[in-house]
Amino acid sequence: MSDKIVSLYRARLANERGVIKKDWGGRISIALTYPNHYRVGMSNLGFQVVYSLFNSRDDVVAERVFLPEDQETSLYLETGKGLLSLESQSMLQRFDIVAFSLSFENDYPNILKILQLGKIPLLSEDRDEFHPLIMAGGITTFLNPEPLASFFDLFLLGEAEEDIDEFIGLFKDLKDLRTDRQEALKVLARDIRSVYVPSFYHIEYHKDGTIRSRDPIDSAVPEKIEAPYRRSQDLPVNKSSILTPGTEFADRVLIELGRGCGRSCRFCAAGYVYRPPRVHSESDLLTCLYGAIDECSRLGLLSASILDTPGIEKIFSKTIETGASFSVSSLRADSLTREILEHLKNAGQRTLAIAPEAGSDRLRRVINKHLSLDQITRAVRMIAGIGDFSIKLYFLVGLPTESKDDVAEILGLVKKIKHHMVKESRARGRIGLIRLSVNCFIPKAFTPFQWFPMEDLSGLKEKQRWLRKVLAKEGGVKVNFDVPKWAYVQSLLSMGDRRVGSILLLSHGYNGDWSKSFRHSELNPDFFVYRPKELDEILPWDFIEHGIHKEHLIKEYRLALKEKESDICQVGDCDRCGVCSA
């Protein structure tokens, strides 16, 4: 049976281009682990970038590990063998380090599944010198790693380009000196500003459940942990290192045009922790694009605000001239031009995504969206006038201060969009489909909305029922809703402190039955999800230093309550949030 797993992995490798295989001799072995299936993990550009960063070092061999799919899981359970890496089919237990790349809180349960399949103790306190060091990085770790504190030996916070080399260099020295596990963790935590070892910190709580204090148990480790960001624009443009047909972006090179966003939407974590927003020069991007096209004629261009990329029209135009096709992520409606739409049409894009987020101008001011009804309808008229694009619209329900009238205006906005699409498309006799993606608002750390609670499930379900009913009457409109109970779990894992790890462990023991876990937990999960937080209380993630002044977040929180917008990010020209002056 184990031979079947090996054959499966070798067949998968045979379909890949760009895979790196190294001899293990004398090298630090790292199992780079994505807590989801292969097709999902290999669609994640950040995961591929870290794979390249590790393997760019001659003293490291990094191999990939994924959550097995159903067939693989059955084979593992039948044989009783431990989880294997993809490249050399080595047991997870053999590696020096198991490094998880974490992008989404809802993948957290898969971490425990992978550790169990790898025959590694789930709790860090139960591991000894013979076990790999279990670590994690990725955006959710430098938002709030605390719900995972019991399961990880350490976290490497911040952007990988800034701290991987320093970490590997020190780890190699410690390994060569045969430093014992606990002492190695202490040295890593003491000497590297971005290493966080949860076991070195003691938390005390008030009677009401809020945090009283958070202190190091050893004077050698710092009170605050820095999350460094990529400062230099001279670094190479990130792109896919491995091409494979077995992903959501099959045989497509993904290219990161920029990182972060200066629009300052108050609900968006990426807009705050990836500050300042950074873009590459037009010439660097074109060089990367031309090189990527030599590998593959299909590209995926990624950025939080792609149309804010300097020279984007020229980049689109030059790419089309090569005969390559490309797709883009969500577009700002206020930045669209006819030239851009023509380029997207010629590139083969058939669906354009726009994120109004809210139906009313009032609520868009609350969230600091900087997008008016007039700008949205103008963009729709242009889109419909250029071609038969379908439009995908992203909305959130349960936003702070949201009223029934705000929800009703989602219907009103969709009707206006449909009207303009029909009017502009009349001459062609065809109209593109309107698709809605309606998600529940989930508060995130390091945003002005971190003090707001998630709306209760009954209210969210009622809003979804109403929208489903009224939108069903609109022809040519399709709607997808997320599931409120899963939004509740994500909010718990986003907002919780380290005590939430006990609920996650219960869920693992109950095979993913969260309802049963909540019933048997000594903690009330509503405390973390539904409770408005005080502006002066200690938050679970306050020990992480991003350079953002908490006073700035409080100011933005108060502006939201006043329904007032603030300026977009002016990189280098202001010090409002504190990052550029850090």
Tens of pLDDT, residues 440-484: 999 999 999 999 999 999 999 999 999 999 999 998 999 999 999
Helix (H, G, I), strand (E, B) or coil at 395: strand
User: Tell me, what CATH number does 459's domain have?
Assistant: 3.80.30.20
pLDDT band at 232 (very low <50, low <70, confident <90, very high): low
Percent of the chain at pLDDT > 90 equals: 88
Phi, psi of 258 (to 5 degrees): -165, 170
Which of 4-13, 17-26, 249-258, 361-370 is the least confident region?
249-258
CA angle (324, 329, 335) in 5-degree steps:
100
Instruction: Please indicate, yes or no, whether residues 181 and 118 belong to a single structural domain of this protein.
Output: yes
Is residue 569 domain-resident? no
At 177 the pLDDT is 96
- Which residue in 243, 259, 227 sits closest to 158, CA to CA? 227
C-alpha span between 408 and 294 (Å, rounded): 49
Per DSSP (E only), the strands in 35-164 are: 60-66, 97-101, 133-137, 154-156
pLDDT at 230 over 90: no
Helix (H, G, I), strand (E, B) or coil at 525: coil
C-alpha span between 238 and 93 (Å, rounded): 31
pLDDT at 485 over 70: yes
Q: Which two tokens stand for residue 494?
A: 């986003």
Number of domains in the chain: 2
At 56 the pLDDT is 96
Q: What is the DSSP letter of 567?
A: P
Is residue 151 domain-resident? yes
Tens of pLDDT, residues 325-347: 999 988 999 999 999 999 999 99
Instruction: Please indicate, yes or no, whether residues 203 and 257 belong to a single structural domain of this protein.
Output: no
Residue 26, sorted as left (phi over 0), alpha (psi -120 to 50) or beta, turns out to be: left
Helix (H, G, I), strand (E, B) or coil at 112: helix
Instruction: Please indicate, yes or no, whether residues 205 and 325 belong to a single structural domain of this protein.
Output: no
Is residue 457 domain-resident? yes
Instruction: Please indicate, yes or no, whether residues 340 and 401 belong to a single structural domain of this protein.
Output: yes
pLDDT band at 60 (very low <50, low <70, confident <90, very high): very high
At 319 the pLDDT is 95
Q: Most distant CA pair in the chain: distance in Å?
A: 76
Instruction: Please indicate, yes or no, whether residues 211 and 347 belong to a single structural domain of this protein.
Output: no
Instruction: Please indicate, yes or no, whether residues 125 and 260 belong to a single structural domain of this protein.
Output: no
pLDDT band at 582 (very low <50, low <70, confident <90, very high): low
Structural domain harbouring 136: 2-226
Instruction: Please indicate, yes or no, whether residues 262 and 213 belong to a single structural domain of this protein.
Output: no
Is residue 141 domain-resident? yes
Instruction: Please indicate, yes or no, whether residues 460 and 405 belong to a single structural domain of this protein.
Output: yes
C-alpha span between 371 and 356 (Å, rounded): 7
Is residue 542 domain-resident? no
C-alpha span between 265 and 447 (Å, rounded): 9
Look over the chain and give the mean of its residue pLDDT values, rounded to a whole number.
95
The whole-angstrom distance between residue 542's C-alpha and the CA centroid of its chain comes to 20
- The residue type at 160: A
Dihedral of the CA atoms 494, 500, 501, 502 (nearest 10)?
-160
Is residue 154 domain-resident? yes
Is residue 578 domain-resident? no
Instruction: Please indicate, yes or no, whether residues 208 and 271 belong to a single structural domain of this protein.
Output: no
- Which residue in 107, 17, 119 sits closest to 66, CA to CA? 107
pLDDT band at 1 (very low <50, low <70, confident <90, very high): very low
Is residue 553 domain-resident? yes
Percent of the chain at pLDDT > 70 equals: 99
pLDDT band at 289 (very low <50, low <70, confident <90, very high): very high
- The residue type at 393: L
Which of 70-74, 230-234, 415-419 is the least confident region?
230-234
Helix (H, G, I), strand (E, B) or coil at 435: strand
582 or 301, which is more confident?
301
User: Tell me, what CATH number does 191's domain have?
Assistant: 3.40.50.280
Q: Which two tokens stand for residue 74?
A: 């059955």
At 3 the pLDDT is 86
For residues 209 and 527, is the Cβ–Cβ distance under 8 A? yes
Q: How many CA atoms lie within 13 A of 48 on its CB side?
A: 25
Q: How many residues does the chain have?
A: 582
Instruction: Please indicate, yes or no, whether residues 221 and 257 belong to a single structural domain of this protein.
Output: no
Tens of pLDDT, residues 183-220: 999 999 999 999 999 999 999 999 999 999 999 999 99
pLDDT band at 229 (very low <50, low <70, confident <90, very high): confident
Mean pLDDT, residues 271-281: 91
147 or 579, which is more confident?
147
Which of 253-257, 356-360, 383-387 is the least confident region?
383-387
Instruction: Please indicate, yes or no, whether residues 295 and 362 belong to a single structural domain of this protein.
Output: yes
Checking DSSP bridges between strand 390-397 and strand 434-440, what pairing results, if any? parallel
For residues 368 and 566, is the Cβ–Cβ distance under 8 A? yes
Instruction: Please indicate, yes or no, whether residues 120 and 174 belong to a single structural domain of this protein.
Output: yes
At 112 the pLDDT is 98
Task: Render the burial of 454-479: b for 16+ CB within 10 Å, e for the rest.
Answer: bbebeebeebbebbeeebeeeeebeb
